[in-house]
Structure 1
Amino acid sequence: MSIDRPVENVWDYPRPPSIEPSGERIVIELGGHVIADSTRSLRVCETSHPPTYYLPTEAFVEGVLRPATGTSLCEWKGEASYFDLVTPERIASRAAWTYPEPRRGFAALADHVAVYPGRVDRCTVDGETVQPQDGDFYGGWITSRVTGPFKGAPGTMGW
C-alpha cells in the first residue's frame, strides 16, 4: 500500500548526505525470486542524487549475497565492499555494496546493503517500481517521490 508523501527535490538534499530510517516496504527481485524484503531500511539522501536504500543484511534471502572483488571509496561513508547477487537462475555481478566499517556519522550503515536497481530485475518502494539513476557508478532509486535533475546522466559528472 502506497503512502502519500510530499515530492522532494534532490537539490534540497544535504551534502554531506543524510541518513533516515524508512518504513517503506522495499522489495528486490532477481531471477524470478524475491531476494530481499524489508520495512526497516535506511534512506541516504545526497544533493543531486535520488535516494539510495540500504537494507539490513538479514532482509536478504540466505545465500543471495556472495562477496565480490574490489572496493571503492566514498568521501563521506568510507570504503565500500561489493557483493554479487546470486539466484539459481541468475547472477548479478557487483550488484550490491556495503560499508563494513563506515566513517563517523555513517555508523548506522554497518550491517546494511544497498543494491543497484539497474542490475536486478526489479526493485519496488511501497509497490512502485524504481527507475535506476543514470550512470554505472551511482545507485540511486528514482520514484515519483523525487524530482531532479539527477546527477549521473552524460554531462553531469562535474555537478
Structure 2
Amino acid sequence: MNKTTESVWDYPRPPRLEPSPRRIRILHAGRTVADSTRALRILETSHPPVYYLPPADLDLSLLTRSNGYGSFCEFKGTAGYWDLAVPGSPAVVQAAWSYSQPTARYAALAGYLAFYASKVDECWVDDELVQPQPGDFYGGWITRDLRGPFKGAPGTRGW
C-alpha cells in the first residue's frame, strides 16, 4: 500500500504518465468490471490521479463504444467513450473513456480505459474505496493519501 501523501499541487502540467503497482478494481451491479495491477496513471496539477486499465484486465463483454460522442484533451488527443451494461441492470452511458490514438507523449495509453468513479458502484485502489473527483467532467479518483484542494467542484474549472 502507498503510505506517501501526495499533494495534487505537486503534480506537473503537462501531466505525467506513469505505471502504478497498486491494485485497481471496478465493480458494478455485482460484477467485476476490472481487476488490475498493471494500470497506468495520469498525474496533472490540481487533479487526483486518473487510472487507465489495460483491456486484458477488463470484462470487455460488459463494454460497448458510445455512439457519437468524443472529447479533446490538449495533451492526450481525442477520447472516445464507453457504455457499461451489466445484464439485469440499467446501462451506464459513458462510464469510461479511452484514447485509441493518443499523442506521442501518451502513446502507452492507447487502448487502455479509464472509468468515472461517480458512474459505477465501486472503484478501489488497493483496499480503499475511492471518492470520485467532484463535478461531472474530470475522472480522478480520490484516496486518503492525496491532498487537495481538487479541481472539479463548481467554480474551479478556471483554475
Identify the TM-score tier after normalising by the shorter chain.
Answer: over 0.9
Aligned-residue CA RMSD (Å):
0.8
Q: 1:157 to 1:87 in 2, by over 3 A?
A: same
* 1:23 pairs with 2:21: yes
Q: 1:4 to 1:68 in 2, by over 3 A?
A: closer
Give the 5 Å matches for 1:39-118.
39-69=37-67, 70-90=69-89, 91-118=91-118
Structure 2: tracts of 5 or more residues without a match = none
Q: Which residue of 2 aligns with 1:119?
A: 119
Q: Give CA-to-partner distance per residue, 1:103-153, whole Å, 9 cap, x none.
A: 020001002000000000000000100000011110000001211000000
Separation (CA, whole Å) in 2 of partners of 1:11 and 1:51: 12
Separation (CA, whole Å) in 1 of partners of 2:2 and 2:66: 38
Aligned residues, how many? 157
* 1:12 pairs with 2:5: no
- Give the percent of matched residue pairs that are identical in Structure 1 and Structure 2: 54
Q: Which residue of 2 aligns with 1:152?
A: 152
TM-score by length of 2: 0.96
SS in 1 for 2:75: coil
Detail structure 1 runs of 4+ shifted over 3 Å in the superposition. none
2:30 equivalent among 14, 32, 36: 32
